[in-house]
Structure formats: structure tokens, C-alpha cells
Structure 1
């Protein structure tokens, strides 16, 4: 018998955006992205088992352990994949950071003028 994990997180879901629908959409997108990443790793395992000439069984797939080089390849793919999936979020963050950086000199100048 395996370990039973809780199916629901405790506490409130963190909010990142003013509109809760955006948070929900992001959560769904990330859940789907996670599933795609798992399927991609499984497909990679299948391809490597086939290339090795070993019999392809569920046990072989489930028991496949990638070596360090394979893990590095998978990690690199996952990084590129998540960068692609989250590109718009990264762009928004960069724009906000740029606006904040541009606003600081303006705000500092206003303070100097106010202080006289």
C-alpha cells in the first residue's frame, strides 16, 4: 500500500493578480504545463528504452532511471519549456520593473522640489 497524499492544499490560495480569474487561469496553465513535462519525460524514457533494444513494458518505463546526462538534458528542456509557457508573465514583470526604475528618479526629483 502506498502513501496517501492530501488532495487539497490547506489555507487560502495565494493571490498574485488583482483579478482572481487570472490567478485561476495561471494555476490551470501551470498544472497542464506540469502534466506535459511529465509526459515528455515518460516519452523520453520510452524512446531510450526502445533505442537500447530492451523490451518495452510498463515496468521498464516506470523503473527507468535517467543518468546524470539524461537528467541534465531533461532539465534544460524543462527550463526552455517553462520559459516559453511563462514568457508573457516574465515580460509583464520586466515591464513593471522597468516602469518602477524609471519612476524612482522622478519621485526623487519631486521630493527634492518639495523639500526646497
Structure 2
């Protein structure tokens, strides 16, 4: 799995690799964009393989898969399952941005905030 790794025992725990990630491109943010593209490419390739498998199984069974998909009405459980998959994709897609935001939030302490407020107050 790319990005955050969650354990079965503790699915809410997200582990991050420690240390600074290497930058391959000089343009700020380009490494993050490339990572996002690779996550999407992997996801698309996997979906295409699964769809191809489903189409082949259906054809071998004499089923009109396209018509069945068009007529399909999902129940609440299926909708929630799809939403969970979407959220997982978004977590993997925005992994680096979320990691950077988490690191930035941890770097901001209440002492630093108070020092900034005091510095601003002295400027008046």
C-alpha cells in the first residue's frame, strides 16, 4: 500500500516514514504532484484489471454486464462501502500534503504562538 500504512489491529493508526523525503524536482510541490499522479495511476490500473476480469467472467457466463451495471441500485451499506474506498483513495492521494500539515502543526507550539503574539503586540 502506498502512503499511510494502517494495521488491522489499529486501523486508525497512521504511520509516517521519518526524516526528510528526498526532492527530485526543483519546482516546489512537484514531487508531491508526481506522488499523487503515481497513486492515481496505480488505482486506475488496478480498477481496469478488475473491470476486465469482471467483464470476462460475465461474458463467459452469458451475462450482459453493461445492462446490469446501468440498472443497479445500491443500498446504504454499498454506498457506505464505496465512500470508505473513496476516502481511503483520498488519504493515499493527499498523503504527503497531510503528512506535511501534520508535521507543521506539531512544529507550532503554544510557546511559539505566544511569542508571536507578544512580538506583534510590541510592534504597535
Q: TM-score range by the shorter chain?
A: 0.3 to 0.5
TM-score of the superposed pair, with normalisation by structure 2: 0.45
TM-score of the superposed pair, with normalisation by structure 1: 0.47
More helix by share: 1
Q: Which has the higher contact order (CA 8 A, sep 6+)?
A: 2
